[in-house]
């Protein structure tokens, strides 16, 4: 009975989320592949070159989309795996790290999808430190991102510049959640014809010459899959406003629950996204 209750309260596994899988594959990369697209084992210190048996491993022996011997105990230099097996190992890896996240963070399943993605992305990369976990568990979200970025992979990445972008994307997710929690404590503003409030519908401006991009994070491009989840043109309903916050670019961004119309345009689109306030309106 206890286990059944736990299963009923668990969020859907992120290994089944096409968008999250796409993001992990983008960040991790496929590693070296042969002419038949088989994935070859490599040293993560030199991820573009297959490692041969007998060669000293300077970093971590890896294959496919970031799979190590934690997931594949038989991994060895010179190994190759099929594309389909690489996908299977990706699923196993995500599931393993998500199980760890649930164990380390008891409220993990209660968080919005974008927060769980950031936690799991950080866990997958190995840069979710114990102090960051303590702050999450204590509910001190306003301090989480700064502590998370206080990590050698961010402060001294060496040649791993992509890691900085990846960690910054996670930090933005943590800050976004902190801002949402803070917004719940503030008084709701009175709606005007130009200022949307929680629950109001949002549409692209009729005068827009380009589609409105719905983004994963409140910034134009942070390296996260080009940060675009979907693109919508007038008069398609974007969705309903959840909350707003000021972005690093100085603009106000709206966190929006996407409409069914958007999800019909792109079945892989998540349920929530960000739009910049200067390209939308709360009326057609």
Q: Which tens digit of pLDDT belongs to each residue from 132-184?
A: 999 999 999 999 999 999 988 888 776 666 788 888 888 888 988 898 888 76
**Residue 188: its pLDDT value, please?**
42
**Residue 149: its pLDDT value, please?**
92
Please identify every stretch of the chain with a pLDDT value under 70, giving residue numbers as ranges: 1-9, 158-161, 184-195, 221-226, 266-270
CB-based contacts of 200, cutoff 8 Å, min separation 6:
191, 240, 241, 282
The answer to whether 133 touches 103, Cβ cutoff 8 Å, is no
Q: Cβ–Cβ contacts within 10 Å for residue 194, how many?
A: 9
Q: Radius of gyration (Cα) for the chain, nearest Å?
A: 21
**Residue 117: its pLDDT value, please?**
92
**Residue 179: its pLDDT value, please?**
83
Q: How far apart are the first and last CA of the chain?
A: 50
Pick the closest to residue 90 from 124, 128, 51, 46 (CA basis): 124
**Residue 189: its pLDDT value, please?**
44
Tell me which residue has tokens 């994935």: 39
**Residue 191: its pLDDT value, please?**
40
CA dist 255 → 8, 65, 128, 186, 197 (Å): 27, 30, 25, 16, 11
Domains located in the chain, CATH noted: 9-183 (1.10.530), 201-281 (2.30.30)
CB-based contacts of 81, cutoff 8 Å, min separation 6:
38, 39, 63, 64, 89
**Residue 215: its pLDDT value, please?**
86
**Residue 2: its pLDDT value, please?**
45
């Amino acid at each position: 009975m206890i286990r059944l209750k736990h299963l009923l309260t668990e969020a859907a596994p992120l290994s089944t989320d096409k968008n999250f899988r796409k993001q992990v594959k983008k960040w991790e990369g496929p590693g070296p592949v042969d002419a038949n697209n088989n994935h070859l084992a490599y040293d993560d210190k030199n991820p573009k070159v297959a490692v041969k048996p007998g060669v000293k491993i300077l970093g971590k022996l890896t294959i496919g989309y970031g799979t190590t011997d934690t997931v594949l105990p038989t991994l060895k230099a010179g190994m190759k795996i099929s594309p389909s097996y690489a996908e299977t190992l990706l699923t196993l890896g995500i599931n393993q790290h998500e199980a760890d996240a649930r164990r380390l963070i008891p409220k993990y399943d209660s968080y919005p999808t974008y927060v769980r993605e950031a936690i799991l992305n950080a866990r997958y990369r190995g840069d979710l430190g114990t102090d960051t976990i303590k702050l999450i568990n204590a509910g001190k979200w306003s301090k989480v991102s700064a502590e998370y970025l206080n990590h050698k992979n961010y402060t001294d990445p060496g040649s791993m510049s992509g890691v900085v972008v990846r960690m910054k994307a996670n930090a933005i997710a943590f800050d976004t959640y902190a801002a949402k929690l803070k917004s719940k404590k503030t008084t709701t503003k009175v709606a005007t014809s130009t200022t949307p409030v929680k629950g109001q519908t949002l549409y692209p401006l009729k005068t827009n010459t380009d589609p409105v991009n719905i983004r994963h994070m409140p910034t134009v491009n942070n390296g996260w899959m080009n940060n675009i989840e979907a693109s919508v043109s007038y008069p398609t309903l974007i969705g309903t406003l959840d909350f707003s916050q000021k972005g690093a670019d100085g603009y106000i961004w709206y966190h929006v629950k996407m409409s069914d119309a958007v999800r019909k345009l792109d079945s892989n689109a998540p349920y929530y996204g960000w739009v910049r306030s200067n390209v939308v309106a709360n009326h057609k």
